[in-house]
Structure 1
Amino acid sequence: MIKLLEQKFQPFLNGTYLYDSKSILKIFNMRQDHQRYNNVYEKFLEDLNLHLVDAIKYCDDIFTRRFIVYEPLSIIETPFFIDVVGDNLDEPPSLNLIKPVKNFNYALQKLIDPHRRNYSDFDFFSRLISSQTNDVDVEAELKRMRENIFDDVEYISSCRLIEKILKNDE
């Protein structure tokens, strides 16, 4: 399958970290060893499926010449001033404070960026993640990432596993 993808879908393989043939074959062989490899392998299959569905849809649209006719936009009038209705207008309105949402996307994107793959940037962005979570698995994967900072397969699969763990914790 990888040989076929190299011949027909080279942009797909080059478009994402770890989707080169050498890395995918390594991950495929190690997918039973740990969840981090299985996670990357499942994501690869999911992305490949989405890419193929999009390619088929694109070809279908081109060859069947489907055209979309858009309805003209209607103008919606909104009032410039909003009437305030209430019993006592002298009291300030109460504020509903919302607990801030933990967002790890920035730190994870910086960790996965190959141009920032050095120990000082890693320490900074991994501390951002560590300070917002107490998950033991996340800490273990961050430690593993630091140990394998120049091994793309190990580093990125650990990063993807951290991303999955943090998404499940939300």
Structure 2
Amino acid sequence: MTLRTIMKKTVEDKLDRIADIWNYFIWDYNFCSNKIKFNEDVKTNYFGDILGYFKDTLDIVFTSNKHSNYTDKFSFTISFLQAVYIQQDFIQEMLEIFKTGIDKGVLKKDPTYYINRDLRNELVGHPIRKFEDKLISSTLFSYQAREDEIQYLRYHKNNNFKFESKTYKIAEIQDRHREFLEKYFDKILLKLKSILEEYLSELDKLENVIDKHDFKTVLKLVELYFEAIFKSDFAYDKASLSKIFDRRNEHIRYQNFIEKFYNDLRAAIAEKRNSVKDVFERNVVDKTSFESLSLPKIEIVFASSADTEEVKKARQETYYYEIGKIATKRNSRDFNFFSGILKAKCKSNNLVLSELEHMRKNISDKIEYYTSLRLICLELKEE
């Protein structure tokens, strides 16, 4: 593995961690998004465009390709320096979004920022630079540059427009930029870590209330700190859950639904805790190692006629397909068709037949429909 590949992998890993926190915490939970600059612009998810553009330009920044002629080297130099410049702008934007307290004024004092930026500005951004219509400097790419260097000729006012030859090692530019990216990614991750630690402490409070089975308070805290679960399943909105809870003693379908919500809530909180741990403790994965993996051999085994009956029987004992269709296609025509298949499979199961009939009569009532469906899932072990 080359040094440039290691640079890219390290930077990409930090970017992936930031993206994971954005996708699984910032985007889903107001408590987290309120800790950053989550304004109307950011809500358009242009941050996703930043992440995508960042990934697309990493190969350009950390390339080790050789160039056979001047034209190729010229094209590479422009795209390389411009990619570095764009990533610097992205870092500045990200530092602002995540409220790190680091602005452009701070960056301008950082040599890992301004050396590369000045080089890009002088050679690509403003090869002929004027101020108040007076020439400040002019630059021209050198034909004599070595493969591993960027060399150009400069005529600057501060040097009485005398000829100067400026040379930069590409590897030094890359390493300086790598240091810049890692430094400010780490500052962003440090800020995000503090947000998530505070968030986890709020989840502690939520779990304590769950253990006390104070459902009304649970819903209030979920609304404040864990609202994404309201969108995770049918009838999991706050209003429906409150109504179902109030009717929990009327029928087992309502109590079962509340217990299912509690179980899903506990599991989701545990998953979030593991996600935080994974983001900050996982090792850097070398994705290039997967490219050399070979696919396992697939052995096709033909079943005998005796096996066919067993396979057929096993299929008859699976209800996932019909339940999935009933859950997502809530109209009379589809319900009658797929519930008919389920009835045929469960003709001796009175609970399933009774709840299917309840669903048919209440097909327009979200609460009645899905509490019955969840009870059927429990009965058929299709949770």
* TM-score, scaled relative to structure 2: 0.36
Find the counterpart in structure 1 of residue 379 from structure 2.
165
Provide the residue aligned with 1:59 in structure 2.
Answer: 276
Distance 1:155 1:96, change over 3 A: same
The 1-side partners of 2:250 and 2:276 are apart by 39
What is the one-letter code of the residue matched to 2:322? Answer: A
What do you get for the CA RMSD once the two structures are aligned? 2.8
- What corresponds to 1:154 in structure 2? 368
Paired residues for 1:17-56 under 5 Å: 17-56=234-273
In the alignment, residue 59 of structure 1 is paired with which amino acid?
V
**Per the alignment, do residues 149 and 79 of structure 1 end up closer, same or farther by CA in structure 2, a change over 3 Å counting?**
closer
Could you tell me how far 1:96 is from its partner in structure 2?
Answer: 4.3
For 1:21 and 1:43, the matched residues in 2 are separated by 15
Residue 233 of structure 2 aligns to a residue in which SS?
coil
The aligned counterpart of 1:87 is none
Structure 1 stretches of at least 4 aligned residues deviating more than 4 Å after TM superposition: 69-76, 78-81, 93-96
Instruction: Please point out which of 300, 321, 335 is paired with 1:106.
Output: 321
Q: Distance in 1 between matches of 2:283 and 2:246?
A: 45
**Larger strand proportion, structure 1 or 2?**
2
Match of residue 39 from structure 2? none
Matched, 1:4 2:221: yes
Query: In the alignment, which of 127, 130, 143 is matched to residue 340 of structure 2?
Result: 127
Cα deviation code 1:64-122 (max 9, x no counterpart): x312367978979x8999xxxxxxxxxxx965412421221111111111xx2111111
1:142 correspondence with 2:362: no
SS at match of 1:117: coil
Note the C-alpha offset of 1:19: 1.0
The change in CA–CA distance for 1:66 and 1:32 in structure 2 (over 3 A counts) is same
Query: Residues 66 and 154 from structure 1, CA distance in 2 versus in 1: closer, same or farther, beyond 3 angstroms?
Result: same
Task: Name the structure, 1 or 2, with higher relative contact order (CA <8 Å, separation 6+).
Answer: 1
Q: 1:69 to 1:122 in 2, by over 3 A?
A: same
Taking the aligned partners of 1:80 and 1:48, their CA distance within structure 2 comes to 39
Residue identity matched to 1:143:
E
Letter aligned with residue 378 of structure 2: K
Moved more, 143-152 or 97-106: 97-106
SS of corresponding position for 1:167: coil
State how far apart, in whole Å, the 2-side matches of 1:4 and 1:19 are.
15
Q: What SS does the aligned partner of 2:281 have?
A: coil
Aligned length: 153
Deviations along 1:134-160, whole A, 9 cap, x unmatched? 211111111100010011111001011
What is the Cα deviation at residue 61 of structure 1?
A: 3.4
Q: Which amino acid aligns with 2:376?
A: I
List runs of 5+ in structure 2 lacking aligned partners: 1-217
The unaligned stretches of length 5 or more in structure 1 are 82-92
More helix by share: 2
Q: CA 1:148–1:70 in structure 2 vs 1: closer, same or farther (change >3 Å)?
A: same
Query: How far, CA to CA, are the matches of 2:337 and 2:270 in structure 1?
Result: 39
TM-score normalized by structure 1? Answer: 0.77
